[in-house]
Structures are given as C-alpha cells and as structure tokens.
Amino acid sequence: MIKPRTNTSDNIYDTIKEEILSGELSFGDRIVEIDYSKKLNVSRTPLREAIKKLEIEGIVERLANGRVKIIDITPERIKEIFKIRIALENILLESISQNPEVISLLEENLILTEHYIKLKKWKETRKLFLEFNKIFYQKSELEFTIKILKQYDFILSKLRLSSLNSKERIISACEEHSLIVKYLKNSQLELAKAVNTTHLLSAETSLLNSIDFD
C-alpha cells in the first residue's frame, strides 16, 4: 500500500531532525537533494516538502545559489534564542503560577533531581532537567507560545547536554529550579521570573563556553 505523500514528507522531516540530534548531520552541513532521495529511497517531491518545513522552522536555510544547509550556530544566534526563551518562558510562568497541580509536578521532579544529585547519577539528573522543561511547557496550555519555544528548543537541544557536563553547573541549575518552584508556591511570580531569567542567562553562558566556534 502506497503511503500518502504527507506521511512520506513527515517521515523524511523526522529523519533529518533525528540525524541532526544524533550528530550524523552537523550545523552548517549541506543537504543535497539527489543524495538524500537516494539515501532514503524517496522521490524528490516529498523531500522538498520536508526541507521546506525545516526551512520554515529555521532549522535549515536556502542559500542564494539554491543550495540547502543546516543553519550555522554562532554566538549571536545563541544569544538571540535565549532572549526569546527568557521572554516566552516568563509568559509561561504567568500561565502556570496559579495552577497548584503543575507546581506540584515541578516539585516532584525537583525532589527526584536532588535525590539523583546526591547519588551522583548525572545521566539521570540531566534527563530530569529536560523533563522539568517538558512539564513547564506542556502544562501551560499556551499553544502558540509553546510552538515557538519548541522550534528554538530543538536547535538548542543538540547542544544543551554539553552545557550540563559540568557537575557544578548541574548543581547550580538545580538550585535555580528549586528557587523557581519555591517562589511559585509562595505566589511570588516576579521573583520566580527573575530567577528564571538568571537561570537562562547562566545556561547561555555555560553553553557558549562549551562550544568551539572556530
């Protein structure tokens, strides 16, 4: 049975994103249509549809000569993404600030994170950091804001774990999460926003320091 083109296009889209996350494709790499159509055994029409979707999301860019490549990551782009995250995540904080259920879920995540830090299980701790953001995003119910954040979050996700290689950064990030939850529980929204801003600026600095841009 022949799958609808939209399914083929979506599969190609997912495959390219997975290759970016796995390291098979790196920032700045070219995507050559004829090579990819042979590699994935697909026609070029659904491939072009997938590439167009990635282009709209800002993951790939089309050069003046018509060639397509994964975007380059520069310090300026990372700083811009973090400015967007700070603005939008603070909007999400407003959304969840009066929701005890979400705050409780964040607190449960934090308790488990602190437990794994004490056991020095850093891999599990990193996973819980990602889960903290997942709860934060999904439970806010601000669909359009989350869509924008997820778009930029994908670009950072390829790089994020390298910024959490430092145990000191893991511990300080956990402390920042703890303060955010504390202030949300106490209905101190502006303090929660301030800590989240500091948290993201620290993550930005850590990420910039972990990448060789040469």
pLDDT in tens, 158-192: 776 556 667 888 899 899 999 999 999 999 999 99
Give the model's pLDDT for residue 163.
Answer: 60
Tokens of 172: 């300080």
Please tell me whether residue 98 adopts helix, strand or coil conformation.
Answer: coil
In the predicted model, is pLDDT for residue 117 greater than 60? yes
* Cα–Cα distance, 73 to 71 (Å, whole number): 6
Hey, what amino acid is at 28? G
Distances (CA, A) of 12 to 3, 43, 50, 114: 13, 11, 6, 39
Confidence of residue 84 (pLDDT cuts 50, 70, 90): very high
In the predicted model, is pLDDT for residue 15 greater than 80? yes
In the predicted model, is pLDDT for residue 59 greater than 70? yes
Give the model's pLDDT for residue 155.
Answer: 83
Mark residue 41 as left, alpha or beta (left: phi above 0; alpha: psi -120 to 50; beta: remaining).
Answer: left
Are 93 and 196 contacting, i.e. CB atoms less than 8 angstroms apart?
yes
Cβ-based neighbour number of residue 82 at 10 Å: 21
Task: Name the percent of the chain in helix, strand, coil, to the closest 5.
Answer: 75, 5, 20
Can you tell me the mean pLDDT for 63-76?
Answer: 91
Hey, what amino acid is at 93? L
The per-residue pLDDT of the chain, averaged, comes to 89
Confidence of residue 200 (pLDDT cuts 50, 70, 90): very high
Give the model's pLDDT for residue 45.
Answer: 92
In the predicted model, is pLDDT for residue 4 greater than 70? no
Tokens of 109: 């995540």
Give the model's pLDDT for residue 123.
Answer: 85
Would you call 7 exposed, middle or buried from its count of C-beta atoms within 10 A (0-12, 13-18, 19+)?
exposed
More confident residue, 132 or 157: 132
Hey, what amino acid is at 190? E
Calculate ∠ Cα 21-24-28, nearest 5°.
Answer: 85
Confidence of residue 214 (pLDDT cuts 50, 70, 90): low
Tokens of 23: 């390291």
Give the model's pLDDT for residue 6.
Answer: 54
- Which of 32-41, 120-129, 150-159 shows the lowest per-residue confidence on average (mean pLDDT)? 150-159
Give the model's pLDDT for residue 207.
Answer: 86
Give the chain's domains with CATH numbers. Answer: 5-70 (1.10.10.10), 75-210 (1.20.120.530)
Give the model's pLDDT for residue 1.
Answer: 41
Please tell me whether residue 162 adopts helix, strand or coil conformation.
Answer: helix
